[in-house]
Structure 1
Amino acid sequence: MTPHPPNTFALSCQVQARVLAPAHIELHFRLRNDGPQAVQLLRWGSPFEGAWFAPFVRVQGAQGELPYRGAKMKRGDPAPDDYLALRPGQTAEALVRLEEAFDWSAAGRELQVSAQWRWHDAQVAGRSTTPRTRDRHQGLDQACGSLRISL
């Protein structure tokens, strides 16, 4: 029997912004599995969870970094539907509203947004049982780029 190669992940990520009004900014995230194997990523604390439950972006205004004001969540072990599955070449997209987690009313006319987070658990699909208990998670850092937003 040939042993499995180590987990390899080739994920590319991009973030774009659309100013809907000075107080409303939509962030669009696009994640692609550029690797040769299907992957499973625990959505927690990422934009692919569908809401703000952790600060997966940093926002800078004229006075410095803006504090995160979104929800935070304590969790037990994940359920199977907490994972995002991506086949090779597959893309996932997520939209979130920046005003749901940050207040930039006194930040000036430009914002610098940097998107990065840690997948709490990342694995090659089929290598082990999903979901894994929290003590067996293997995290993975994800950079998704940065952008400047003019208000």
Structure 2
Amino acid sequence: MMTAILTTGTVLLAAGCGDAPTATNPGQAASSAIVRTSGVTTTPDSSPTGATGAKPTRPKGHTVGTHKVRWESAKPSKDGRRITVVWWSGVEPCHTLDRVKVRETSRRVTITLYEGQAAKARDVACIEIALKKSTTVKLKAPLGAREIVDGARP
């Protein structure tokens, strides 16, 4: 009896794991121009906020326990002068964007996000819920054919 229940549950779980449209799925891209990045595929940004469904976030600095955070996607603007980075995080003040480091070379643009707990948030309890966040960085030179790299990935 227990084996039948486990088998049925496994089949139902597997059936629900189809290929849903995502921002990082090139088959679902709204634009024909695709930029390949290290581990992430992105499309040029056409939404007014920069990342549909993500909460726009600005670096606040002065965090405690600051660490690198991996991002999910990077969307260049049409003119290639800005890149909107999207990642999953938690609620503030427990998960606060401290800073964004951008390193540009002739071959690549490396973007590293840093998060930590707000320094003024001592003895604060935060709910454990995932939030999709975004931030936009300005480049010194248009992106062009350069690769976008996540600085938090090894």
| Bigger Rg, which one | 2
Fold match by TM threshold 0.5: no
TM-score under structure 1 length normalisation: 0.35
TM-score under structure 2 length normalisation: 0.34
Which of structures 1 and 2 has the larger relative contact order (alpha carbons within 8 angstroms, sep 6+)?
1
